[in-house]
Amino acid sequence: MYNDVYHQLHQLPVLPPLHPPPVYSPSSHQLAADSYYAGTPSSQATSITARSSISSLAAAQSHWPSQDRALSAALKGEYLSTIQLSDPVAMLPDFHHAPPVHTLPLHSPPAMPLPQPSQQPQILQRQRSQSGRYSMQDFVFHRTLGTGSFGRVHLAQSTHNKRFYAIKVLSKEKVFKLKQVEHTNSEREMLSEVRHPFIVNLWGTFQDAKNLFMVMDFVAGGELFTLIRKSQKFPNAVAKFYAAEVALAIDYLHSINIIYRDLKPENVLIGADGHVKITDFGFSKRVLDQTWTLCGTPDYLAPEVVQSRGYTKSVDWYACGILIFEMLAGYPPFYTDTGNSNPVALYEKILLGHVNYPPHFDPLAVNIIASYLTPDLTKRLGNLQNGSGDVFAHPWFQEVDWEKLYNRDIPAPYVPKLDRDGDASQFERYDEADLSEYGTVGADKFAHLFIDFN
């Protein structure tokens, strides 16, 4: 299987011939949103060991390790489909007490504006009312897709529309003991506010007396991390394809003042159509200026984060440089033999900033990586006067038709082999949980900590 993936990625052309820079009209990509309330007629509603993240709240502990494949589906055009078609309880006939559901009309252009010379303008930022809309009875739980420090991700099927979803189940007690309450609530908040073709969708949340449940898309292709390991390293064009889609997602988050802070191959998922979905928003945060929290994955931390200085959204662009290097080389630019068990030596290398570029790297790839990785914030790509416009205009991306890429009209270099809906063959097998522990009723001493999951 590894050889098959290697040859597939190293033989296929990825990007079309050079296109002139697309002309974007922000006004042409604005959407009107409709609201449907309960009772609206349906006719009207349309194990490769991976790195873990660190947090100042739980140093060297992963708040949700890479085995958490918070996995989201990427059927082409799904992000434009109405709630009626995609919501897990859409087919429930008498769901009379649901909060209003905000939908996007099927005939509309993409939900997010395309990249501008500065940044993507803000999309409709109204938070989707999804908390507490579901229960255990709305799903049939299947196999485990991944496990983490305080929970696991299940493949589940809606009993109403029969679609498959990934449901992250978190133990309230473990979240509390590991001091991850803030990060868990932050992930729910951030995911409930975003909608982008290259970011995982959160459909809703619910809870019982012991657990939190997050209903997300099932992304059938697994992690970019695994794909890199199977292929050993990516050809220049393949790395460019994934880096471009990630750049669009990061720019969108920044346009609504969200800093992501945990970019790494383990958090970039491959959809059924081969396009990416960024997941795991536990470290994301709304930032207007600076923040100081030490969190993220050691290999991907910017120098200013390591130094405990105030930092901005530019740390995400720094991480893009690390990601491109790792895709092209098969390993990150800064690493130590001890891994992340003792990150001090790694931090020293990050602060020194010396990068040894393999000879096979394209010169333009070297240039964009170096521009991302510069410790001088006044020179870092993505943090200059033109913002993300400098990223999209970089010569390494010169043949990228951004509009086609955004619309997923450029064929992906790798499409996972899947036999059916709900095919989870791209994920490792795990010991299964006792499902009888889900849906517990009774006293809940942690309820006040997770009121937004209700």
Q: Which residue has the tokens 């200026």?
A: 289
Own/partner long-range contacts of 322-325 (Cβ < 8 Å, ≥24 apart): 322/263, 322/264, 322/372, 322/373, 323/243, 323/246, 323/263, 323/264, 323/265, 323/268, 324/239, 324/243, 324/365, 324/368, 324/369, 324/372, 325/355, 325/369
pLDDT band at 348 (very low <50, low <70, confident <90, very high): very high
Instruction: Write the single-letter amino acid at 87.
Output: D
Question: 10 Å Cβ neighbour count for 419?
Answer: 7
Please compute the mean of the pLDDT values over residues 12-31 and round it to a whole number.
36
Please compute the mean of the pLDDT values over residues 237-259 and round it to a whole number.
98
Task: Name the more confident of 208 and 33.
Answer: 208
pLDDT at 437: 87
pLDDT at 148: 83
CA distance 312 to 180: 22
pLDDT at 73: 29
CATH superfamily entry for domain 223-407: Transferase(Phosphotransferase) domain 1 (1.10.510.10)
Kindly give, in sequence order, each residue whose CB lies less than 8 Å from that of residue 106, ignoring residues fewer than 6 positions away: 46, 80, 81, 82
Mean pLDDT of the chain: 79
Which residues line the annotated binding site?
A: 168
Residue 399 CA from chain centroid, whole number: 25
Task: Name the more confident of 113 and 179.
Answer: 179
CA distance 143 to 154: 6
Q: Where are the domains of the chain?
A: 136-219+425-449, 223-407
Please compute the mean of the pLDDT values over residues 240-249 and round it to a whole number.
99
pLDDT band at 27 (very low <50, low <70, confident <90, very high): very low
- 39 has pLDDT over 80: no
Contact 277, 333 (CB under 8 A): no
Please compute the mean of the pLDDT values over residues 30-53 and round it to a whole number.
39
Which residues line the annotated binding site for ATP?
A: 168
Which among 61, 19, 152, 38 is positioned nearest to 432, based on CA atoms?
A: 152
The length of the chain is 454
Query: Per CATH, the architecture of 136-219+425-449 is what?
Result: 2-Layer Sandwich (3.30)
Tell me if residue 262 is catalytic.
yes
Q: pLDDT tens digits for 208-222?
A: 999 999 999 999 999
pLDDT at 367: 99
Q: pLDDT tens digits for 95-143?
A: 333 333 333 333 333 334 455 534 443 333 334 445 557 999 999 999 9
Q: What is the dihedral sign for C-alpha 424, 427, 430, 436?
A: negative
Which among 304, 331, 140 is positioned nearest to 232, based on CA atoms?
A: 331
Please compute the mean of the pLDDT values over residues 42-51 and round it to a whole number.
42
Which among 291, 266, 283, 225 is positioned nearest to 69, based on CA atoms?
A: 266
Please compute the mean of the pLDDT values over residues 230-249 and round it to a whole number.
98
Please compute the mean of the pLDDT values over residues 361-370 and round it to a whole number.
99
DSSP label at 102?
Answer: E
pLDDT at 115: 54
Question: 10 Å Cβ neighbour count for 283?
Answer: 24
pLDDT at 114: 53
pLDDT at 343: 87
Summarize the chain as % helix, strand, coil (round to 5). Answer: 30, 15, 55
Question: 10 Å Cβ neighbour count for 370?
Answer: 16
pLDDT at 194: 95
- Cβ-in-10-Å burial (0-12, 13-18, 19+) of 40 comes to middle
CA distance 154 to 9: 29
Q: pLDDT tens digits for 410-429?
A: 999 999 999 999 999 999 89
Q: pLDDT tens digits for 189-207?
A: 999 999 999 999 999 999 9
Which among 114, 302, 106 is positioned nearest to 198, based on CA atoms?
A: 114
pLDDT band at 88 (very low <50, low <70, confident <90, very high): confident
CA distance 260 to 285: 7
Catalytic residue among 87, 262, 316, 401: 262
CA distance 1 to 248: 30
Give me 409's structure tokens: 């009209």
pLDDT at 319: 99
- 78 has pLDDT over 80: no
